[in-house]
Structure 1
Amino acid sequence: MLITQTAARPGQRARLALILGSLSAFGALTIDMYLPAMPGMADELHTGALPVQLTLTVFVVGLAVGQVIVGPLSDAWGRRRPLLAGMALYVAGSLWCALAPTVGWLLAGRVLQSLGAAAGTVLARAVVRDLFEGIAMTRFFSSLMVVNGVAPIVAPVIGGQLLTFTTWRAVFVVLAAVGATLLVAVVFTLPESLPPPRRTPAHPRGTLRTFRTLGADQRYLRHVAAAALMFAAVFAYISGSSFVLQDAYGLSAQQFSVVFGLNGLGIVMFGQVNGLLVGRVADEHRLLRISLTVAVLGSAGVLACGLFGLPLPLLLCCLFPLVSMLGIVLANATSLALAGHASAAGAASSLQGLLQFLVGSLAAAAMSLSGHVTTTAMGATMVVCATAALAVLVVRRPRPAAR
């Protein structure tokens, strides 16, 4: 059974958005839910902050590599089979993490978990490209921001509340349950979106040829790079905020989860604003430029808070616009990047995911090189990434002069 443009019907569209939004939010959900527990994990596993933060970096790298594997395979086999296999692997990896006796075992479990989550992340985008085009695709990506934004709102709150009566291990049990629930939902409610006539043979040379074609497409690379760098700016906040806000500013795990959730609410709000504005008030290109400019200003404010020791309210006022702009940037940049690659949506989506999470993990690693995450280090990383994202978008290579 195939799903087609009938997904545009309101009821079917809402169900599709809920499922695909949940799948695309797997990475954020798996990262954000255990953020409040990171300081406690270091204590229980008798290790420092850096090895615990490494569990985040390992997950992100695995998420990136897994997408490069799953994306091209889905162009050949369809979206459904790789998605089901990935979901099953995610459940197994989550249970492994819950039972890990040492940080080494935890790292291994995070690798399995990340490879499984990669399937949901990359294939959600590919399915959207299978079904929609143009402004309709951009608006549907904006609708996914509801679930993508709810994930960072709900996840740290759940994680923080679990810590009031149990240990960090319960967080991974809950993640396994969420993965199992979505696995069942995919089995019974998400048919195949890529019909056999549109599939491409699975061959290493063909896959490399596809990636070379994508690498030569300056329009695709520009939008993918802008999305990756903006994600890196927000990922610096994701990976460092628990230490900055809890250790440096003295917030409890529960207070941190509330702050984290409010910033996630901004992603929801501005993702929906983007859906209302695109095609009516402004096009994707203009909305991208405006949102990245706001992100640069917000990141500069975070850096100033670190350099001059400004109080918490000012820091939070700068973080909110920076994080919120992710809802606009990802929706528009992803739509523009995938627009010209309908026949290789899986590969195009996977390369976007690879760059997005690799750049994010590099930003997180650079921020923590000193072994201790500070507000200044977090702000500096955000400024570099957000400014680079805007520069990649607006600075174009000059065309060669005609002879």
Structure 2
Amino acid sequence: MTDNIRLSRGLTLCLMSLVCVPQLALAAFVPAIPQIGTHFGAGESDLSRSMVGYMAAYAISMLVTGQLADRYGAKRTQLAALALFAGASALCLLAPNVAVFIAGRVLQALGAGAGTVIARLWVQKDLPQRERLNVLTALTTVIAVTPAVSPPLAGLLVQYASWRVLFACMTALGIGTLVGALLLLPPDKPRNSPQTPATRQTTSPSPSSPQAAEPAPTASPAPSQGPLTAYRRILAHRDFTVFAAAISLAWCAYFTFTTYSSHAIQVGLGASPVEYGALYTLVIAGYVTGSSAAKRLGRVRSLELVARLAASVAAAAALVMSVSVRIWPDEPLSLVVPMAFCMVGVGAMFPTCQAGMMRYDGPHAGAASGLFFALQMASGAAYTGVTGLGGDPEFPGLAVAIALPALALLLVCAVLMRPAAGRSPQEPAGTPRPAPERQPGTEAKRPPGRPEASAAAALHHEKPGP
């Protein structure tokens, strides 16, 4: 038993490091944009828009990762991706010009995106429904804390050392995470293994159980359909589609601030990299607060209710921001403080939408996870690409660009998210509900000609437990 606990803790630590890598590579780069642009003689707008290419490659990585994990195994795919990330970080470190540097950033994203998919894939395969939100919240907290801590540290490195030192640290992180994944991740199971986590939970009834006489379910064979067929089946799942749309809109608001706030605050208002890092940390503090609130609410309320509350907070804060930046156009806090409250809603949306996506539990779990996060990242890349066509937006334009997806998020959550009656907070749609157990030797009596009450109706009339 002790060995299992140690393995669980080691695996959890490893999963947390996998989701940390891409967030650090994204957030730590932002304070360094002005110095890197000066070093290569490139415009800061060009480097800001290079983040669009980073996120596009990130989306492609996650889309491909799901398919590769289903076909070749999650661990093998993850190790190859970490090796690519470490090599790409070294390429950025040694880049002689801006073109090579941007190419290195794209390769970084291709390697970093795998951890986002595979960490959730292990959660979905190895944890029951009611335990997933807690682990997802831990992972999203790491995702939030990493960009909260990395910009101030990156600002110090950039201001007092060099941006190349920053990428030397990323190279070391990639190598260290690769070694940890090699040692801590469990080996991939044979594709035809009859003992999956879901099977283990359903094939161990006691001899006296009524289910003991039923044949034990076997693992579904590896999906043989092509990726397009898999994606059509995944997108036909209502919960997957609605929660994917919600997280994509939340990410558009978040990523728009991340992409353009460095130019608006550092260049437009003259803040130093260290000052910008501190302001960015304030924004991420809102994310952590929202993520923690979602964890508590998700235990007792439906995911749809949590999502609607989160979207309301994000939209209200974004509207306040649109007004405050016009009243105080030269004050960074007029943008940062409302954005911190907006991030409370965004932070609550992320684990909630991920838990909602996991209601899809079909044979294409890896492809579903990859598609979900690919849609999220691609939407952010596309949206910031459009909003930056006329150059990096200043405070008023940036506030409007953040408010538009926040308002669309509220509309999606209010109109499309409708929890099924009687469904528990983490229970997927369509889950069969067992009838209440009867005492041995007793039989339920019903009037002649009247059908027996359904299991769902019986549970509906039960009083909730403590």
Same fold at TM > 0.5 = yes
> Counterparts of 1:1-400 in structure 2 under 5 Å?
12-192=7-187, 196=191, 197=193, 198=219, 201=222, 205-280=225-300, 282-310=301-329, 311-396=331-416
Shift in alpha-carbon separation, 1:25–1:58, aligned structure 2, 3 A: same
Per the TM alignment, residue 338 of structure 1 is displaced from its structure 2 partner at its CA by 1.7
Shift in alpha-carbon separation, 1:387–1:231, aligned structure 2, 3 A: same
Shift in alpha-carbon separation, 1:331–1:307, aligned structure 2, 3 A: same
Tell me how large the CA RMSD over aligned residues is.
Answer: 2.3
Unpaired stretches in structure 2, ≥5 consecutive residues: 194-218, 419-466
Per the TM alignment, residue 263 of structure 1 is displaced from its structure 2 partner at its CA by 2.1
Q: Residue 157 of structure 2 contacts residue 166 of structure 2 at CA under 8 Å; is this kept in 1?
A: yes
Q: Residue 133 of structure 1 contacts residue 339 of structure 1 at CA under 8 Å; is this kept in 2?
A: no
Counterparts of 1:100 and 1:285, CA distance in 2: 47
Counterparts of 2:372 and 2:360, CA distance in 1: 14
Counterpart amino acid of residue 54 in structure 1: R
Shift in alpha-carbon separation, 1:318–1:397, aligned structure 2, 3 A: closer
Counterpart amino acid of residue 135 in structure 1: R
Q: Residue 153 of structure 1 contacts residue 260 of structure 1 at CA under 8 Å; is this kept in 2?
A: yes
Q: Counterpart of 2:197? A: none
Counterparts of 1:131 and 1:108, CA distance in 2: 36
> What SS does the corresponding residue of 1:340 show, helix, strand or coil?
coil
Counterparts of 1:88 and 1:119, CA distance in 2: 11
Shift in alpha-carbon separation, 1:122–1:199, aligned structure 2, 3 A: farther
Q: Residue 152 of structure 1 contacts residue 264 of structure 1 at CA under 8 Å; is this kept in 2?
A: yes
Structure number with the bigger relative contact order (C-alpha 8 A, sep ≥ 6) is 1
Per the TM alignment, residue 152 of structure 1 is displaced from its structure 2 partner at its CA by 0.6
Per the TM alignment, residue 139 of structure 1 is displaced from its structure 2 partner at its CA by 1.7
Tell me the alpha carbon deviations over residues 314-343 of structure 1, each in whole angstroms, 9 at most, x when there is no partner.
322201111233321110111111222253
Counterparts of 1:244 and 1:76, CA distance in 2: 44
Q: Residue 132 of structure 2 contacts residue 355 of structure 2 at CA under 8 Å; is this kept in 1?
A: yes
Counterparts of 2:387 and 2:73, CA distance in 1: 39
Counterparts of 2:221 and 2:103, CA distance in 1: 33
| Of 61-70 and 186-195, the range deviating more from structure 2 | 186-195
Per the TM alignment, residue 189 of structure 1 is displaced from its structure 2 partner at its CA by 1.0
Q: Residue 130 of structure 1 contacts residue 194 of structure 1 at CA under 8 Å; is this kept in 2?
A: no
Unpaired stretches in structure 1, ≥5 consecutive residues: 1-5, 399-403
Counterpart amino acid of residue 293 in structure 1: S
Per the TM alignment, residue 194 of structure 1 is displaced from its structure 2 partner at its CA by 5.5
Aligned length: 391
Quick check: which has more Rg, 1 or 2? Answer: 2
Counterparts of 2:6 and 2:346, CA distance in 1: 27
Counterparts of 1:236 and 1:385, CA distance in 2: 10
Per the TM alignment, residue 397 of structure 1 is displaced from its structure 2 partner at its CA by 10
Q: Counterpart of 2:443? A: none
Tell me the alpha carbon deviations over residues 91-143 of structure 1, each in whole angstroms, 9 at most, x when there is no partner.
00011011112111112111211111121111111111111232311121011
Q: Residue 145 of structure 1 contacts residue 267 of structure 1 at CA under 8 Å; is this kept in 2?
A: no
Tell me the alpha carbon deviations over residues 29-75 of structure 1, each in whole angstroms, 9 at most, x when there is no partner.
11110111101111111111222113211111101011111111211
> What SS does the corresponding residue of 1:148 show, helix, strand or coil?
helix
